[in-house]
């Protein structure tokens, strides 16, 4: 995140949070509050209604979680309701709370979302939670079943309000609000400001304080590229990029659920650690996939837009928009999965000639800062492969003598890359010269051929 404008507040001490919470914040390792935290936390603590427009990855979750924990009362009442559009986001906010909740043993918090068994949720509700984080649909089911009562809600947070709107949740949200009986504080977070958002805010909020941090919603930590491709070779082009780009974690966005599965299994066949993530995948599997991605068991997600909202996973440093997003908003959210916290991220958008209009739109949005990148050509690929082999040799070679099996493997690998046998020998020899430098006289070209023949 851009921790660059601190308005003279360069620590958490002056925001009005209590000492216990401050200690936890510093224990967790946060040093300076982000812009949204500086603006939002003091107003939130005073009980003001808040309409906040902030870019993805700006630290907004903490900007409501911290004042909620500061102001919560230790009793058995349900005091706080947080609404979020997707299951993944609900779980993410829940996990964020968990970071802090271990210091607040008396506070009970549960998540409610579609796809999770009702029995688990009924049991959790029996524990009399103080805070519920929910998707609107499943929460309404509980309200209709009278298994949740919102009478005592004092704080309502609506996260990703623009997405709620987009997914047609707004009537559900209004119906939910009708169930809150007492005067309450409302905080609404949205990544984009629109007429509809202002209308909703006016309808459900009481004279809200507006916090508009990054009107243009531009995250400068993301270096954006577009690449013109021929759709016939799209998959091959993707694989060329996978070879030439350096990434820790990558999300590839595609249009359809079916294709996310197809592409991911193709990548797996090619040896990549990849999983598909789409709305058809059942909830527990989705959670497992995100867990695997977060913990490095896989490093590529092939996702539909369901994954583009709010997901905060460390070290996603590359986003490939394999299929173009359906609008600018979706583009911003997709690329917003990288360049989070202080990290630099990169995004590549695959385009065909028919997509020029979209390119113009995003270029206007990002002040012509989207640069052209070209499909990696044969020479670039060759270079990358050379370097990989060289690295392998340097890592594995015992400098005193040649390891026969290793050599055979190496030749096999090289044979897969090149068809011309003479070329293979020359390349191998050149690589060995590079690795062996002055010691090379110990090996002759004849030896090389001998080893090749053993293969």
Which of these ranges, 30-38, 43-51, 121-129, 402-410, lies near ligand AMP under the rule CB under 6 A?
30-38
**Piece of the chain touching ligand AMP by CB under 6 A; list 55-63, 80-88, 222-230, 410-418:** 55-63
Choice between 59 and 85, CB closer to ligand AMP: 59
Site string for ligand AMP, 246-275 (x = CB under 6 A): ------------------------------
Residue 338 CB, nearest approach to ligand AMP (Å)? 12
Alpha carbon distances (Å) from 85 to 18, 108, 260 = 31, 22, 21
Q: In the window 352-381, what residues touch ligand AMP (CB under 6 A)?
A: none
x/- mask, ligand AMP, residues 296-335, rule CB under 6 A, reads ----------------x-----------------------
Binding piece for ligand AMP, criterion CB under 6 A, among 51-59, 317-325, 344-352, 356-364: 51-59
CB of 345 to ligand AMP, least distance (A): 13
The size of the interface with ligand AMP (CB under 6 A), counted in residues, is 14
What is the smallest separation between the CB atom of 10 and ligand AMP, expressed in angstroms? 11
Of the pair 16, 255, the CB lying nearest ligand AMP is at 16
Quick one: three-class SS letters along the chain? CCCCCCCCCCCHHHHCCCHHHHHHHHHHCCCCCCHHHHHHHHHHHCCCCEEEECCCCCCHHHHHHHHHHHHCCCCCCCCEEEECCCHHHHHHHHHHHHHHHCCCCCCCEEEECCCCCHHHHHHHHHCCCCEEEECHHHHHHHHHHCCCCCCCCCEEEECCHHHHHHCCCHHHHHHHHHCCCCCCEEEEEECCCCHHHHHHHHHHCCCCEEEECCCCCCCCCEEEEEEECCHHHHHHHHHHHHHHCCCCEEEEECCCHHHHHHHHHHHHHCCCCEEEECCCCCHHHHHHHHHHHHCCCCCEEEECHHHHCCCCCCCEEEEEECCCCCCHHHHHHHHCCCCCCCCCEEEEEEECHHHHHHHHHHHHHCCCCCEECCCCCHHHHHHHHHHHHHHHHHHHCCCCCCCHHHHHHHHHHHHHHCCCHHHHHHHHHHHHHHHHHHHHHHCCHHHHHHHHHHC
**Binder of ligand AMP out of 59, 129, 208, 325 (CB under 6 A):** 59
Nearest residue (CB) to ligand AMP, 58 versus 130: 58
Least separation, in Å, of the C-beta of 131 and ligand AMP? 17
- Contact status: 88 vs ligand AMP (CB under 6 A): no
State which residue, 257 or 294, has the beta carbon closest to ligand AMP.
294
By C-beta, is 310 or 376 nearer to ligand AMP? 310
Residue 341 interacting with ligand AMP (CB under 6 A): yes
Give the binding range for ligand AMP (CB under 6 A) out of 26-34, 318-326, 327-335, 366-374: 26-34
**Among candidate residues 57, 59, 65, the one with its CA nearest the CA of residue 21:** 65
* Residue selected from 333, 334, 337, 340 as contacting ligand AMP according to rule CB under 6 A: 340
* Near ligand AMP by CB under 6 A: residue from 60, 142, 166, 346: 60
Identified binder of ligand AMP from the candidate list 2, 24, 34, 64, rule CB under 6 A: 34
Interface with ligand AMP (CB under 6 A): 1, 30, 33-34, 37, 57-62, 312, 340-341
């Amino acid at each position: 995140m851009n921790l660059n404008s601190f308005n003279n507040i360069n620590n958490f001490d002056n925001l009005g949070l209590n000492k216990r919470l401050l200690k936890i914040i510093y224990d967790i390792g946060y040093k300076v509050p982000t812009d949204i935290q500086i603006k939002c936390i003091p107003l939130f603590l005073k009980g003001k209604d808040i309409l906040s427009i902030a870019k993805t990855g700006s630290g907004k979750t903490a900007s409501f979680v911290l004042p909620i924990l500061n102001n919560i009362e230790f009793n058995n009442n349900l005091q706080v309701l947080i609404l979020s559009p997707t299951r993944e986001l609900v779980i993410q906010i829940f996990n964020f709370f968990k970071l802090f909740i271990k210091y607040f043993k008396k506070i009970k918090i549960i998540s409610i979302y579609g796809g999770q068994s009702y029995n688990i949720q009924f049991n959790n509700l029996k524990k009399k939670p103080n805070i519920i984080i929910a998707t609107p649909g499943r929460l309404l089911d509980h309200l209709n079943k009278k298994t949740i009562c919102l009478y005592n809600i004092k704080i309502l947070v609506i996260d990703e309000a623009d997405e709620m709107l987009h997914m047609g949740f707004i009537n559900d949200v209004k119906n939910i609000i009708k169930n809150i009986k007492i005067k309450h504080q409302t905080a609404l977070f949205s990544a984009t400001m629109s007429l509809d958002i202002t209308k909703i805010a006016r309808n459900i909020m009481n004279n809200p304080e507006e916090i508009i941090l990054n009107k243009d919603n531009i995250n400068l930590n993301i270096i954006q590229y577009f690449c013109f491709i021929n759709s016939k070779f799209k998959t091959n082009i993707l694989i060329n990029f996978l070879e030439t780009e350096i990434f820790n974690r990558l999300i590839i966005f595609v249009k359809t659920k079916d294709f996310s599965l197809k592409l991911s299994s193709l990548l797996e066949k090619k040896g990549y650690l990849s999983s598909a993530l789409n709305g058809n995948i059942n909830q527990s599997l989705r959670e497992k996939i995100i867990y695997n991605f977060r913990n490095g068991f896989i490093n590529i997600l092939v996702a539909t837009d369901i994954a583009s909202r709010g997901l905060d996973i460390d070290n996603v440093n590359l986003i490939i928009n394999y299929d173009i997003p359906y609008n600018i908003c979706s583009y911003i959210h997709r690329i917003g999965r990288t360049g989070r916290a202080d990290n630099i991220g990169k995004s590549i958008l695959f385009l065909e000639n028919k997509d020029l209009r979209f390119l113009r739109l995003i270029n206007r949005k990002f002040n012509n800062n989207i640069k052209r990148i070209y499909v990696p050509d044969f020479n670039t690929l060759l270079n990358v492969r050379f370097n990989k082999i060289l690295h392998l040799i340097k890592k594995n070679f015992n400098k005193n003598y040649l390891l026969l099996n290793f050599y055979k493997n190496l030749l096999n690998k090289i044979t897969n890359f090149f068809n011309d046998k003479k070329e293979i020998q020359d390349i191998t020899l050149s690589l060995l010269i590079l690795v062996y430098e002055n010691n090379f006289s110990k090996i002759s070209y004849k030896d090389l051929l001998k080893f090749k023949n053993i293969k």
